[in-house]
């Protein structure tokens, strides 16, 4: 486990970025569902999080291909009424029920947002996500190695490490980030994507990038507004904002 001094300078997981054909519409859907205020900044439409909840950012995409998402959102509540209220609110906002192979009798409800991105509304009494907040989990494709990478990179302890599946969570609690283990599907260029956006610790982008590379990330280029683009050990892209 990294010492507290490393946690203090670790980059912060600011948001999960989501490609969208209509970022404003999709952002309004998620803002209403999660009861957050949307804000435009130099990097796109952001639904800010806090110390315990990961933010969401929606960006315009010209990609024409579409593959199953690399990251799925899991929403939580404190009781059955909260689950059903969340489902009904999502449907009223433009979501729909979808079949992704869930089995009869499973407690969670699978929906898709207005652009077809599946997400789950988790059942009451789910001990694993108890107390994680409205955005309980980002469930990602990824190996155990990438889970260990992100634990070190963010200074977040492992809260699950079993049978190749890993999960990390901020020391403050809140949203968990999990990886399901092998196999990891290849994602070609030209399809809509999702990726993590980091804010550098101590506002020092260069130091954050150097530390991430030392842990196993690869720098692959630059984006608009001074953003640095890297890939994690699985080859999944993420970006670090300027300080």
- DSSP labels for 183-224? ------TTB--EEEEEEPGGG-HHHHHHHHHHHT-EEEEE-G
- Give the pLDDT of residue 186: 72
Contact 102, 123 (CB under 8 A): no
Q: What is the pTM of this model?
A: 0.91
- Rounded distance, CA 22 to CA 157, Å? 36
**How many folded domains does the chain comprise?**
1
- CB-based burial label for 21 (10 Å; 0-12, 13-18, 19+): middle
- Rounded distance, CA 54 to CA 66, Å? 24
- Give the pLDDT of residue 4: 46
Nearest to 208 by CA among 166, 152, 141, 156: 152
- Give the pLDDT of residue 217: 97
Q: SS3 for 166?
A: strand
Contact 237, 195 (CB under 8 A): yes
- Give the pLDDT of residue 202: 83
Range of the domain at 22: 4-240
Task: Output 167-173 pairs: Cβ under 8 A, ≥24 positions apart.
Answer: 167/137, 169/132, 170/51, 170/52, 171/7, 172/51, 172/52, 173/52, 173/131, 173/132, 173/133
φ, ψ of residue 147 to 5 degrees: the values are: -60, -45
Give the HSE-up count for residue 228: Cα atoms under 13 Å, Cβ half-sphere: 20
* Other beta carbons less than 10 A from residue 122's beta carbon: 22
- Give the pLDDT of residue 39: 93
- Give the pLDDT of residue 5: 46
- Rounded distance, CA 162 to CA 92, Å? 38
- Give the pLDDT of residue 190: 57
- Give the pLDDT of residue 65: 62
Cα torsion through 228, 42, 54, 217, rounded to 10: 0
- Give the pLDDT of residue 188: 61
- Give the pLDDT of residue 228: 96
The Cα angle at residue 194 between residues 80 and 44, in degrees rounded to 5: 100
- Give the pLDDT of residue 64: 61
Q: Give the CATH number, domain containing residue 39.
A: 3.10.180.10
Q: How would you classify the pairing of strands 165-169 and 218-222?
A: unpaired
Contact 12, 174 (CB under 8 A): no
Q: Please report which residue ranges of 47-196 form alpha helices under DSSP H.
A: 80-93, 144-154
- Give the pLDDT of residue 67: 67
Reading the chain (243 residues) residue by residue, the pLDDT tens digits are 444 444 456 899 999 999 999 999 999 999 999 999 999 998 889 999 999 999 999 999 876 666 678 999 999 976 666 899 999 999 999 999 998 777 777 789 999 999 999 999 999 889 999 999 999 999 999 999 999 999 999 999 999 999 999 999 999 999 999 999 998 877 666 556 899 999 998 889 999 999 999 999 999 999 888 999 999 999 999 999 998
Q: How would you classify the pairing of strands 158-162 and 165-169?
A: antiparallel
- Give the pLDDT of residue 61: 85
């Amino acid at each position: 486990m990294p010492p507290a001094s490393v946690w203090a300078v670790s980059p912060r997981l600011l948001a999960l970025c989501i490609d969208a054909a209509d970022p404003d519409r999709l952002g309004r859907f998620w803002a209403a569902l999660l009861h957050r205020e949307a804000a435009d900044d130099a990097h796109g439409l952001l639904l800010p999080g806090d110390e315990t909840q990961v933010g969401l950012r929606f960006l315009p995409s010209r990609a024409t291909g579409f593959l199953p998402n690399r990251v799925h959102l899991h929403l939580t509540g404190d009781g059955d009424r909260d689950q059903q209220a969340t489902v009904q609110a999502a449907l009223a906002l433009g979501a729909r029920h979808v079949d992704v192979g869930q089995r009869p009798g499973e407690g969670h409800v699978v929906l898709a947002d207005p652009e077809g991105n599946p997400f789950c509304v988790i059942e009451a009494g789910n001990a694993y996500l108890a107390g994680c907040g409205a955005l309980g989990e980002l469930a990602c494709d990824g190996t155990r190695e990438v889970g260990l990478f992100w634990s070190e990179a963010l200074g977040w302890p492992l809260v699950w490490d079993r049978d190749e599946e890993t999960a990390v969570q901020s020391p403050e609690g809140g949203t968990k980030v999990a990886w399901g283990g092998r196999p990891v599907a290849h994602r070609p260029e030209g399809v809509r994507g999702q990726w993590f956006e980091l804010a550098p610790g101590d506002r020092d982008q260069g130091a954050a990038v150097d530390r991430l590379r030392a842990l196993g990330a690869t720098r692959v280029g630059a984006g608009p507004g001074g953003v640095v683009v890297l890939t994690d050990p699985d080859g999944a892209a993420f970006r670090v904002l300027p300080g």
